[in-house]
Homo-oligomer: A and B are copies of this chain.
Amino acid sequence: MQPAFKVLHSDPMSGARSGLLETAHGTIDTPLFCPVGTAATVKSMTPIELSDLGVQMLLCNSYHLYLRPGHGLIKRLGGLHRFMGWDGPILTDSGGYQIRSLSALCEVTDDGVSFRSHIDGSLHRFTPELSMEVQRALGSDIVMVFDECLPYPCRKEQTEGSLHRTTRWARRSKEAFEKSLPEAGEMPLLFGIVQGGFYEDLRLRSLDELCEIGFAGYALGGLSVGEPPELMLQILEAISGRLPPQQARYLMGVGRPQELVEGVFRGIDLFDCVMPTRHARTGELFTRFGRVLIKQSRYLEDDRPIEPGCECFTCRHFSRAYLRHLFLGREILGIRLNTIHNLYYYIELMREIRRSIAEGRFSRFRQQFYAMRKETEE
């Protein structure tokens, strides 16, 4: 089998690299940011608008789609790509994180996790095998192993027990995944998830155990769960150099623009986060010069675009004053225009990152990224 991932350029001054990841629905450029389409929709956006922005891959949530409308229904309707009208690659998470963060009850045994639906309180049970069944029914291009997510902070003994469970679940996930594959045709990829909380030695042990099982890519899970940002970078620093260099590396659920830059700096290839879309809905807009909180009265009669110089649809057509008006009136168009701008900002940031790596000037790009924010932060 051809390796799915190929490094094209490595930055001489950092761990940053650019590359290509081949999936059943097309090849993507890395480092890449994936917008989140929780319930088979990136909130407020059509698939065509996402393509036009340059979005290459989406993350969808197995937990949500399992509960509503159900993975069986989506499978009967031809799979998630057809259901939501997106024919690019889709990465699905395993459900573990949402079970922990959204459901009322959550009982973990070695077999799996029992939980109550956040929608109607009904009782459900996820196992590694069910997680694989769900993700395969959806037709995911990148399938994630079922893992246990811990809150922050968490004692070392508990973290260690959970780590071993995650390893056992990773093995069961791989077995179930492999059984589910067709004889021939386009194959999905299975990624392992490194856990181990905020203990470096546990993180490295988790990584060793996963590498022994063997996956098409490796993700870092259980980060960005409420810890101080510097703690995440510390763990990333410790672990990233040890990740297999020939496979894609995915930092799950991250994050802020500076975290993307720092992740890339430490060798990360893939990111996902609800931040650009969620912040759009609360009127928090990203720009190269810092954040714009659109509800502020300073924008009342401000005829300028969100980010002067930005070439997104929103900035080319609408003023801060109009966007503020839409926001205060809770108008859907305001959410749409904010989402378009924020996603454009993220996509463009990653595009510039890839370009700077290819041209051997990522470290300079990183310096400029901070300088521009500092100079003008209001």
Contacts and interface: CB of A to CB of B under 8 A. Distances in A.
A344 B69 CA distance: 27
A328 interface: yes
A64 to B, nearest CB: 8
A357 to B, nearest CB: 34
Contacts of A300: 69, 73
A176 interface: no
A151 to B, nearest CB: 26
Contact of A40 (B46, B85, B325): B325
A333 interface: yes
Contacts of A68: 325, 328-329
A76 B335 contact: no
A7 B39 CA distance: 51
A301 B46 contact: no
B85 A317 contact: yes
A325 B77 CA distance: 13
A310 interface: no
A287 interface: no
B332 A332 contact: yes
Interface in A322-340: 322, 324-326, 328-329, 331-337
Given A39-B326, A44-B333, A332-B336, 4 more contacts: A43-B332, A47-B317, A76-B301, A85-B317
A45 interface: yes
Q: Which of A40, A46, A325, A334 has the most chain B CB within a 10 Å cutoff?
A: A325
Interface in A66-109: 68-69, 73, 76-78, 83-85
A344 to B, nearest CB: 15
B318 A85 contact: yes
B325 A69 contact: yes
- Return the 7 tightest CB-CB contacts between A and B, nearest first: A44-B332, A41-B333, A69-B325, A39-B329, A85-B317, A41-B331, A332-B332
A182 to B, nearest CB: 23
Contact of A83 (B41, B43, B321, B337): B321
Contact of A77 (B73, B77, B301): B301
A303 interface: yes
Stoichiometry, as copies per complex, reads: 2
Contact of A336 (B44, B78, B85): B44
Contacts of A334: 41
A76 B321 CA distance: 11
A363 interface: no
A333 B35 CA distance: 15
A117 interface: no
Interface in A43-62: 43-47
A36 to B, nearest CB: 13
B77 A319 contact: yes
Given A301-B73, A301-B77, A332 B335 contact: yes
A68 B321 CA distance: 12
Contacts of A85: 317-318, 322
A300 B334 CA distance: 30
Given A85-B318, A321-B83, A41 B77 contact: no
B333 A77 contact: no
Contacts of A326: 39, 41
Given A39-B331, A77-B303, A301-B77, A321 B46 contact: no
Contacts of A336: 44, 46, 332, 336
